[in-house]
Structure 1
Amino acid sequence: MALSAGTRRTVACLLVGLGALLIVMALMIPTYTVDKLAKTPLDLEITTIANSQQGSESLVLDSRSLTAPEGAAKVDSNVPLISQRFVTVEEPSDATEMTIQAGQTLRRIDKQGDTGLLTAVVDRVTIDRKTGMPVDKEPNGSIATTVNKEGESIADPVQHTGLQYRFPIGTEKKSYPYFDLNARATFDIDFVEETEINSMKVYHFRQTIPVTNLWDVAQAPTNRLSLPAAKWGLEGEEPVTMTRFYTNTRDLWVEPQTGTVIKGGEQLHLFYARSGDKPDVTALKSNIVFDENTVESQMAVAQDNIDRLSLYGRIMPIVLGVLGVILAIVGVILGVRGGNAPAPARPVRGGNLPPSGSAAPSRGTAPRGADDAPTEQINVKKNL
């Protein structure tokens, strides 16, 4: 059944209005919704595992040899190491900021239980959810390396000043300040190259930590030891005080759209020495890199975030924009046609109208039907 002119105009207005609404939504989604999505999620929960690389030097000081009554300090070689880190989101966290807690251990897997544990650290830092940088508060984080008698971590307030666990949304090919947990200081991590890992585009960054006196960082008992010279492999009878030093070369491969660290590696070197430029006894030296399962897991996290950003940043705006334009065009066409539709003929009261230009019938005379034959009045004379 054909629509009346009024109905056509109403439908046309509705279509144009709906089309305009969809076009506005297509323009607003990339600027509003994507901005909300382009943040580190509050349900972040990531476990990463890194192993010492076969074929690379892996040295660990046997701590028991330092307390043995006889013999010099012993350094074990070809030691298999595993580093595990568990990252979660804690309070305080809100729409713009989040507190990340990372528990990290490094152990040698050729020994069982606590005898294999080399280091254990709990790190907390409050960061901006979009930039990944620590918030401008003091203190904005803490580091715990020791426990009390109850086994609870003892955290020291530490001001964090660089990236750590994530890079910014939309990572660029440039240097970034990056916080080193061992040195408790920030050094630049430099862009090296753009490359691929399992067909995913990543940016390779590298950071070099200069030789750092750990006693100046934290006055822990293990960071300065006074032992007989023979224990250090030196001549003489007098005790010799050694300080523990640290240096590192860190490599990170980052998915740039989401800032997810896909792969990471560290070339750790800790040693005891009287001077930082001349190591005396190696405490730890190894090249530790994310294992394949961790790389695949990080890629899955990055891809999920990429898909969400693509859905709201490109796919939905295109679909809504095209649909809005189509509805608006259909509405305009329908409105134009509805306005040009011929008006229906109005009925005439009292019969048919006379032809154009004809005289109206005189009062009292019935209108002649269209099919009536003309008649002629004949005068009839009487008395013929």
Structure 2
Amino acid sequence: MAERSGPSRILALVLIGLGAFLVVAAILIPTYTVSALAKTPLDLEVTTVSTGEGSVLERTSLAAGRVVVDQNVPIVSQRFVTVEEPSDADIITVQAGTTLRRTDKQADTGLLSATVDRVTLDRKSSMPVESPIGTIQVAGDKPAEEVAHTGLQYKFPFDAEQKSYPYFDINTRQSQDIDFVEATEINGTPVYKYQQTIAPVDLSTVANLPTNKVTLPADTWGVEGGAEPVTMTRWYENTRTLWVEPETGVIVKGDEELHQYYAREAGQPEVDVLKTGLTFDENTVEYQIQQAKEGKDQLSLFGRTVPIVAGILGVISLIAGVFLLLRGGNGGHRQPARADNALRPNPAGGAAPAPSSNRDWTTDRTEEIPRTNLNKE
């Protein structure tokens, strides 16, 4: 038994060391690994499609001398988001190309607007960083303009809260609060619902585009005044609703009630330019839900599952190691058992016979008794 105490002690110490390592790992993994995972991935590549229908100004009608607004027009908005440089461990630069078109017309005749938005974000908070400054380019010959982005856009922060966040609107080039409305579900996925209402904004004060302030005869506008010139300003309103998976910050669904119109006063539409409701189509919603689930699973794996398993195995290893160590310590002080059958010295010389208790009395011992001659002559 003494010879076994060495290997047993080594095994016990190995188990105790392994158990301590696993317990420490169970404590540290959620702190460091999850923190590293809770960042917007650098391989981000997302296409979202929103559909709807509404009224659209026939853009060639103004030049033709008579305003025509088409009704019940099918409309689709498509946005393609990719990652650009600079991007690193802390920041990510995203570029979003967005087109809005009417699908009842082909090619460029159906294009209503196109923009390219570029912004550098903090990978954890999803908020824009001060440098480099963002840019916005509107379809046309003009280069991209530098525009300071000051709110969320394409993603919410990890562990989104039930509160208001600043949200950047690309049309007004400003941020205003998007407010928490309720906790609900979409296709079985828990989400937070947020909503933002944008009051009428004069787009001529946002971007210097010829279509944002137009002077035409009153007859062309379809208002009183005959040939008298009337200047109309293009206004923009919107009610934006977003459904966000809170753990990952993924926007699962988006809805916008857009209204752009020409008017001489805010809130008094005279000619609709665009009036439509646009909502993520079902394929986009399902894709976004899948992205959110994959992110949640990864966070759950390293935030809960791995630490729990490591902690349980660590405790088991510690208990087994301590048990072996204590058992080996007690066994090391035992005296070897005496062999009852061992030969003991005999004072008369030779070996002493085995004790009587161990002798075999079944064999014939008559030869050991001296013979006596009974037949005397």
Q: Same fold (TM over 0.5)?
A: yes
Q: List alignment gaps of at least 5 residues for structure 2.
A: 354-377
2: CA distance between counterparts of 1:63 and 1:309? Answer: 49
- What amino acid maps onto 2:106 in structure 1? Q
C-alpha displacement of 1:146: 3.1
**Structure 1 residue 221 corresponds to structure 2 residue 210:** yes
- 2:153 match: 164
1: CA distance between counterparts of 2:153 and 2:308? Answer: 36
Alignment of 1:66-215 (within 5 A): 66-68=62-64, 70=65, 72-137=66-131, 140-148=133-141, 154-215=143-204
Give the match's secondary structure for 2:135.
Answer: strand
1:213-251 C-alpha deviation (Å, 9 max, x unpaired) = 000000111111111111111223222111100000000
Change in 2 beyond 3 A, CA 1:238/1:35: same
1: CA distance between counterparts of 2:105 and 2:175? Answer: 34
Stretch of structure 1 that moved more, 189-198 or 226-235: 226-235
**Structure 1 residue 4 corresponds to structure 2 residue 4:** yes
- What amino acid maps onto 1:262 in structure 2? V
Taking structure 1 as the reference length, the TM-score comes to 0.86
Q: List alignment gaps of at least 5 residues for structure 1.
A: 355-365, 373-384
- 1:279 match: 269
- 1:358 match: none
Stretch of structure 1 that moved more, 41-50 or 2-11: 2-11
- 2:237 match: 247
- What amino acid maps onto 1:255 in structure 2? E
1: CA distance between counterparts of 2:9 and 2:348? Answer: 42
1: CA distance between counterparts of 2:350 and 2:126? Answer: 94
1:117-137 C-alpha deviation (Å, 9 max, x unpaired) = 000000000000010100133
Taking structure 2 as the reference length, the TM-score comes to 0.88
- 1:381 match: none
C-alpha displacement of 1:277: 2.9
1: CA distance between counterparts of 2:312 and 2:240? Answer: 47
- 1:361 match: none
- 2:370 match: none
C-alpha displacement of 1:345: 4.3
2: CA distance between counterparts of 1:6 and 1:182? Answer: 77
- 1:268 match: 258
C-alpha contact (below 8 Å) 1:229/1:240 kept by paired residues: yes
* Sequence identity (%): 56
Give the match's secondary structure for 2:143.
Answer: strand
**Structure 1 residue 299 corresponds to structure 2 residue 283:** no
2: CA distance between counterparts of 1:335 and 1:368? Answer: 48
1:294-334 C-alpha deviation (Å, 9 max, x unpaired) = 00000010000010001000000011110011011000000
> Which consecutive aligned stretches of 4+ in structure 1 deviate over 2 angstroms post-superposition?
342-347, 351-354, 366-372
C-alpha contact (below 8 Å) 1:146/1:154 kept by paired residues: no
2: CA distance between counterparts of 1:302 and 1:239? Answer: 54
**Structure 1 residue 371 corresponds to structure 2 residue 371:** no
Change in 2 beyond 3 A, CA 1:61/1:336: same
1: CA distance between counterparts of 2:116 and 2:67? Answer: 29
- 2:280 match: 290
1: CA distance between counterparts of 2:182 and 2:24? Answer: 39
- What amino acid maps onto 1:168 in structure 2? P
Give the match's secondary structure for 2:73.
Answer: coil
- 1:360 match: none
Give the match's secondary structure for 2:166.
Answer: strand
C-alpha contact (below 8 Å) 2:113/2:139 kept by paired residues: no
- What amino acid maps onto 1:123 in structure 2? D
Question: Once superposed, what is the RMSD of the aligned Cα atoms?
Answer: 2.1
C-alpha displacement of 1:274: 1.3
2: CA distance between counterparts of 1:126 and 1:367? Answer: 105
- What amino acid maps onto 1:166 in structure 2? K
Give the match's secondary structure for 1:275.
Answer: coil
C-alpha contact (below 8 Å) 2:76/2:103 kept by paired residues: yes
Alignment of 1:321-332 (within 5 A): 321-332=311-322
2: CA distance between counterparts of 1:327 and 1:368? Answer: 58
Change in 2 beyond 3 A, CA 1:288/1:2: farther
Quick one: which of 47, 50, 55 aligns to 1:59? Answer: 55
1:94-124 C-alpha deviation (Å, 9 max, x unpaired) = 0010001000000000000100000000000
- 1:334 match: 324
Change in 2 beyond 3 A, CA 1:16/1:236: same
C-alpha contact (below 8 Å) 1:130/1:168 kept by paired residues: yes
